Structure 1
Amino acid sequence: MTKVILRTLFLATISFALLAMILYMLWGENVAQWEMLYEKNYANLPYGAWMLIFFGGFSLLIAMWSNSLTIQKENQLTKQLNLILEGQFQTTKKRMVSKKNFKKLQAIDDLVQTQKKSLQRLTNDHANIQEKEVQERLIQERQRLARELHDSVSQQLFAASMLLSATNETIGETLPEANQKQLQQTEKIVQQAQLEMRALLLHLRPIALKNKSLAQGLQDLLDELRQKVYFNIQERLEEVSLPKGAEDHVFRIAQETLSNTLRHAKATEVQLLLVERNGLVIFRLQDNGVGFSIQDDDHAGSYGLRNVEERAVEIGGTCKVVSIPEQGTIIEVQIPVEQEETK
């Protein structure tokens, strides 16, 4: 309301000044003409009063009209700015603001959207960096734990196993039958604990292949296992064309399956296959161990097998498990070679 009053006074002042200038140019200093403005009247009001009322009312109407236009433009501009903030600003043929201002609003909208995308990228990059740092710390902790277990518990289990074996050979036959069975059972428990520890150390190994190919990494892993396990390992490893991330996943799958075999299979022979055929990379592990029933949820849904299946899916592959009780288990993973690395 204050704006309307101020505009009215401003316009009225200009109107009265212009009217006075026009009348002065017409009448000059003719007193009789000027006296007519207040001597002659219409409806009991002098002509001069009617002129003041007319120009005052006209100024008020113009002030109200201009104020209404200003409010309307401000509302339109506010609406456009709100659309920009909400990310819904769109170019339309029926513009609600002037062409010049509309182009400026478009530039502002482009800048805002660019800044939003930049902030999203920064947020994603920050999250990825944090995730990589967490993964790196986890790998370092796994390596530290594996070293400590190998240098302490694993060595102690090995020493206990050797002592029990030597005791069985030297004085085992001189003991009563019940004691012999207890000593043999204790030796088996220690040997099983050794297998569990080796499987755990295998599981804790870092998953990165570093500068090695998948076939080279698997060969090194099997060569190391041969020095620590009691079963025979046969392998057929070929170079395959997989992205680096997919190779790391397959290497980790191999670790998981070998760890499960060490812990549960009680196998005497393990066969490992890595080949590329008909657009597929095929990884297969087969053992002649105790096997299990696929319908048995405790085995079919075990943590190790779930990890293998999830890793296969992450790189666009499939996992198939075939197991027959007392005959053995086959785990086969197939990955399309054209599959891009999953991030």
Structure 2
Amino acid sequence: MKKSHITLLFVYALVIVFSIVTLILDSFHLSIKELVNNVEQLNQLIFSIVLLTISLTIMLLFVSMLLNYNSHRRIFKNLRRIVHNQPIEAGEDELSQMMMQLSEKTQSLTQQLQRTENVDLAKKEDIIQEERKRIARDLHDTVSQELFAAVMILSGISYSLPTIDRDSLQEQLKNTEAILTNAQNDLRVMLLHLRPTELEGRSLKQGLEMIVQEIQDKSTITVTFKTNLKTLPKPIEDHLFRIVQEFISNTLKHAKADHLDIYLHQTERSVQLKMIDNGVGFDVEEAKKISYGLKNMEDRVTDMAGSFQMISAPNQGVTMTIVLPLVGEYNE
């Protein structure tokens, strides 16, 4: 309790004591002059007044503390109910009205958060389902069909082995080998695409060098990789890593290219990613309507407040340019 409140209670007690003393003096027809002349009665009166004043002050303090305790208890009870999203007890005073408004806002924010999380979960589930469908479709359209064709050829060879001549046998075995090689390459492309988005403790440069080495070891495409990267924030590294994976996957799967260039250039205020292949190219506007991967790359760049440009045409290869701003602590 504040000192001003205690002082106010003491003054209030003095006023009550003064009123009681005046009432007593009037009741017994005593005067101040008579009391002054009788020292013993005056001392007794003064002692009684002081004792009464202290008693009243203590009583008022106790009553005030009790009221304060009940008020705090009611506030804590309402706060506890607010934390647990339970309705609170309404009151007529200003504090109760403010608590009621706080309870309503808390419940509203909780409902909005739940709706947002539910929407995010639904979107994630949709993305997972779309990825599963895409993987199943890719497996069916590439690896599964190629393996089926290889099995049919080998079955035909096995059936006609006693009558088939050596040249035909050699030609069909070469065809089977080519089909199985294509299936193996398609499977590698899918595994590359499904690599985790996290760099697993590596820097972006180290992660990309690992992918480039893997491509050169397991495919016939030539890759040029040049960079002057320094330090980038982890979210930007993860996004760029995933974008590079997506572009490489599309190049290996669709472009029929024999050369791929990857350039990463970092300045004080931005980082630029440029990727070029010399493949068959495609119509960019048409691809945007049906390509989930292309839209995914563009959405990632948008999330990072960057600019995205994809240039291509049939038989003209593909050029992708991405520029991301570096602000605040990221450019130090």
Deviation at 1:326, TM superposition (A): 2.8
Unaligned 5+ runs, structure 2: 1-90, 155-164
Query: Are positions 1:323 and 2:315 aligned together?
Result: no
1:310 paired residue number: 299
1:104 paired residue number: 95
CA contact (8 A) 2:301 2:307 kept: yes
Sort the Cα spacing of 1:125 and 1:234 in 2 relative to 1 into closer, same or farther, 3 A: same
1:218 paired residue number: 208
TM-score between the two structures when normalised by the length of structure 1: 0.51
Secondary structure of the residue that 2:218 maps to in structure 1?
coil
Deviation at 1:192, TM superposition (A): 2.6
Q: Distance in 2 between matches of 1:228 and 1:192?
A: 12
Structural RMSD (CA) = 4.5
Sort the Cα spacing of 1:300 and 1:282 in 2 relative to 1 into closer, same or farther, 3 A: farther
Q: Distance in 1 between matches of 2:273 and 2:196?
A: 20
Q: In the alignment, residue 243 of structure 2 is paired with which amino acid?
A: I
Q: Distance in 1 between matches of 2:296 and 2:123?
A: 20
Q: In the alignment, residue 211 of structure 1 is paired with which amino acid?
A: G
Q: In the alignment, residue 199 of structure 1 is paired with which amino acid?
A: V
Q: Distance in 1 between matches of 2:232 and 2:289?
A: 28
Q: In the alignment, residue 175 of structure 1 is paired with which amino acid?
A: D
Sort the Cα spacing of 1:314 and 1:265 in 2 relative to 1 into closer, same or farther, 3 A: same
1:334 paired residue number: 323
Q: In the alignment, residue 98 of structure 2 is paired with which amino acid?
A: A
CA contact (8 A) 1:240 1:281 kept: no
Query: Are positions 1:193 and 2:183 aligned together?
Result: yes
2:110 to 115, 119, 125: 119
Sort the Cα spacing of 1:316 and 1:273 in 2 relative to 1 into closer, same or farther, 3 A: same
Q: Distance in 2 between matches of 1:220 and 1:121?
A: 43
Q: Distance in 1 between matches of 2:100 and 2:315?
A: 69
TM-score between the two structures when normalised by the length of structure 2: 0.52
Q: In the alignment, residue 296 of structure 2 is paired with which amino acid?
A: N
How many positions carry a matched residue from both structures? 219
Sort the Cα spacing of 1:260 and 1:179 in 2 relative to 1 into closer, same or farther, 3 A: same
Q: Distance in 2 between matches of 1:124 and 1:238?
A: 44
Q: Distance in 2 between matches of 1:294 and 1:230?
A: 26
Q: Distance in 1 between matches of 2:181 and 2:208?
A: 25
Q: Distance in 2 between matches of 1:299 and 1:128?
A: 24
C-alpha deviations, 1:37-63, integer Å up to 9, x for none? xxxxxxxxxxxxxxxxxxxxxxxxxxx
Q: Distance in 2 between matches of 1:127 and 1:188?
A: 48
Q: In the alignment, residue 277 of structure 1 is paired with which amino acid?
A: T
Point out the structure with max Rg over C-alpha. Answer: 1
Query: Are positions 1:258 and 2:253 aligned together?
Result: no
Q: Distance in 1 between matches of 2:111 and 2:233?
A: 27
Deviation at 1:333, TM superposition (A): 1.6
1:285 paired residue number: 275
CA contact (8 A) 2:268 2:326 kept: no
Sort the Cα spacing of 1:125 and 1:216 in 2 relative to 1 into closer, same or farther, 3 A: farther
Q: Distance in 1 between matches of 2:283 and 2:328?
A: 32
CA contact (8 A) 2:256 2:280 kept: yes
- Give the alignment of 1:39-58 within 5 angstroms: none
